[in-house]
C-alpha cells in the first residue's frame, strides 16, 4: 500500500463558499495544494470531494494523514 506524500506539516486555511465543491488532494503530489491537479494519476490515490455547507474558513489537511480528511485533525503534530 502506497503512503501519501506529506505536502506540508501544517493545515492550509481556505475560505470556502457555501454549496461549492472542492477536490482535495489525497496523494500529496499536487502543486495546487490542498487541491487536486491530477498528479495522482500514477498512484493508487484519488481526490476526495468536499462540499462546503456554509461560507467560512476551513483548515484542509496538508500532511495527508488526517483521520478526518479532507480536514485537519492535528495528525501533522505526530509526524
Q: What is the domain extent for residue 64?
A: 12-78
Question: Rounded to 5 degrees, what are φ and ψ at 6?
Answer: -75, 110
pLDDT, tens digit, for every residue of 23-65?
Answer: 999 999 999 999 999 999 989 999 999 999 999 999 999 999 9
6 found inside a domain: no
At 69 the pLDDT is 97
41 found inside a domain: yes
35 found inside a domain: yes
Residue 73 pLDDT more than 90? yes
pTM of the model: 0.94
Q: What is the DSSP string of 27-56?
A: SS--SSTTB--SGGGGSS---EEEE-SSSE
68: its cell numbers: 478526518
Find, among 7, 78, 2, 79, the residue nearest to 70 by Cα.
7
71 found inside a domain: yes
At 1 the pLDDT is 82
Amino acid at each position: 500500500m502506497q503512503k501519501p506524500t506529506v505536502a506540508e506539516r501544517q493545515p492550509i486555511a481556505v475560505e470556502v463558499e457555501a454549496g461549492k465543491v472542492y477536490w482535495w488532494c489525497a496523494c500529496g503530489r499536487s502543486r495546487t495544494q490542498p487541491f487536486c491537479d491530477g498528479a495522482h494519476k500514477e498512484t493508487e490515490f484519488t481526490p476526495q470531494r468536499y462540499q462546503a455547507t456554509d461560507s467560512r474558513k476551513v483548515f484542509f489537511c496538508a500532511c495527508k494523514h488526517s483521520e478526518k480528511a479532507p480536514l485537519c485533525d492535528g495528525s501533522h503534530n505526530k509526524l
